[in-house]
Structure 1
Amino acid sequence: MKKLLIIFLALVITGCTLFEGSKGPDLPAKISQYPTDAEAGSSYGGMGGNRDDYSAYAATGSPDVTECGDNPRAWTPDGDQVSTEWLELEYFDELYVSDIIIRETFGPGSVVKVEGLNGEEWTVLWEGTYKTKLCPYELVLPVKSLQENITVNMSTFKTDKLRVTLDTDKVQGWNEIDSVEMKGYHTRWYVLNDTLVTE
């Protein structure tokens, strides 16, 4: 009887060990970056290099505007309802982009497109419209692409530059962006049949 009990316990422990080890492969670490430099089609504060003058450079670094409202620490296009405006952002490291998080701190809802610089050409990562009553508002944009009919949760190319396009006619009043976080990976990967596939 004791032998049967020992064998039974051994099988249970072995089964648990196998189950614990079948959680899937270890995935690459996701990296988060904030812009180190920026430029824009226009800025209410001109083309200065300070983070508190409404210029494009005010959108660099991590978020530093905590409340909704006009704030010189956020990029502000030069004029409201002036149709299309753009903000280009540069990051320290090239990544396969998986997520873009745009923090809008005044007049959110005007972003219509986000592109990444692919070589010498801008490639669309997201395009669309949305409405929100929240302010500040974090516009979270997951990036997806296809790899042989498999959905991959990141871009097909590495980039260290993003361009955000606004249609300022969509939202009455001024539009301000505090920061644009870019998340992604150094390696393009996906999981197929519990196996990590890298490129």
Structure 2
Amino acid sequence: MRHFLRFTALLLGCSALFAQAQGTLLKQWASGVVTRSSEYGADSWAAKQVLGEPNTMTYGDNATAWASATKNGVVQSITVSFKEPVYASAVLVRETYGNGFVSKIFAIDTQGGVHQVWAGKDKTQPNYTVNFIATFPKTTYLVKSVKVVIDPNHDMSAYEEIDAIQLHGTK
């Protein structure tokens, strides 16, 4: 019994050290808009609609999500900030209309440096809200903001709309 208790204590100690070394995963919703290429409106479809937890629960053209000023045309982007800088490992983009449009994601460090952390094909399908998650190797620098770049010509019949953006990382 004494060996079992010693072994259990050793395992618990190792688990605590492992968790401390790995850091606690923090998932946080965007708290501020740094910049955007454009926005459809000053309130409805505005950049501020991406802040906080998701509030657009149905797929379609909803005023509670951010949309660019035009349906198609030039590449669009939105940059948002977060309360706690973290060593980032993923970004979640809640797509609510015209899904499949994320083309690049950049992490902005606490010194203002811009780093491309993801580029590729967003394979999410239309007709339902979806959380697109871009994962990447954990950054070696603290991330305070992210820039999401979208392809507005992905679906020529729909605006590309984002309801919320979440950053995953450790402190």
Is TM (by shorter chain) over 0.5? yes
Q: State the AA in 1 paired with 2:117.
A: L
Counterparts of 2:71 and 2:65, CA distance in 1: 15
Unaligned runs of 5+ in 1: 1-9, 145-153, 187-199
Greater relative contact order: 1 or 2 (C-alpha under 8 angstroms, separation 6 or more)? 2
Distance 1:22 1:124, change over 3 A: same
The equivalences for 1:1-199 within 5 A come to 10=1, 14-15=3-4, 18=7, 21-22=10-11, 24-26=14-16, 27=19, 28-38=23-33, 39-45=35-41, 48=42, 50=43, 53-118=44-109, 119-134=111-126, 135-144=128-137, 154-172=138-156, 173-186=158-171
Q: State the AA in 1 paired with 2:160.
A: N
Q: Normalising by the residue count of structure 1, what TM-score does the alignment of the two structures yield?
A: 0.74
Counterparts of 1:128 and 1:60, CA distance in 2: 24
Alpha-carbon shift at residue 96 of structure 1 (Å): 0.9
Q: Normalising by the residue count of structure 2, what TM-score does the alignment of the two structures yield?
A: 0.85
Counterparts of 1:128 and 1:92, CA distance in 2: 27
Structure with max Cα Rg:
1
Counterparts of 1:36 and 1:113, CA distance in 2: 21
Q: State the AA in 2 paired with 1:166.
A: I
Alpha-carbon shift at residue 121 of structure 1 (Å): 2.6
Counterparts of 2:77 and 2:134, CA distance in 1: 17
The count of residues paired between Structure 1 and Structure 2 equals 161
Unaligned runs of 5+ in 2: none
